């Protein structure tokens, strides 16, 4: 079941991590990505100002790919493609 947003990026799962502070957005993202199939896309929204750095570091270590990032009105939005064979950290 894919969903389209205004900018036409389709995603398979979504996570509302708004109001959560580090490390909760990353931990919840990790749990969801571990349940997803390779190449599926997870859409995450967070309000933690460090989330951009945290998500970039997490994806660099696990080989998941941030295919789009946006920040608007204090909400950080990430589209993350699940890796074929993610590294376990």
Hey, what domains does the chain have and what are their CATH numbers?
A: 12-81 (3.30.110.40)
Q: What is the mean pLDDT of residues 56-60?
A: 97
Per-residue pLDDT tens over the stretch 18-57: 999 989 999 999 999 999 999 999 999 999 999 999 999 9
Q: What is the mean pLDDT of residues 62-82?
A: 97
Residue 67 contacts residue 9 (beta carbons within 8 Å): yes
Per-residue pLDDT tens over the stretch 80-89: 999 999 998 8
Q: d(Cα 51, Cα 55) in Å, to the nearest integer? A: 6
Task: Count how many Cα atoms sit within 13 Å of the Cα of residue 3 in the half-sphere of its side chain.
Answer: 9
Active-site positions read 22
């Amino acid at each position: 079941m894919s969903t389209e947003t205004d900018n036409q990026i389709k995603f398979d799962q979504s996570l509302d991590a708004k109001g959560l502070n580090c490390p909760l957005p990353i931990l919840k993202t990790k749990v969801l990505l571990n349940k997803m199939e390779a190449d599926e896309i997870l859409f995450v929204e967070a309000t933690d100002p460090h989330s951009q750095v945290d998500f970039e570091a997490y994806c660099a270590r696990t080989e998941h790919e941030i295919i789009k990032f946006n920040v608007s009105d204090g909400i950080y939005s990430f589209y993350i493609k699940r890796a074929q064979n993610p590294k376990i950290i």
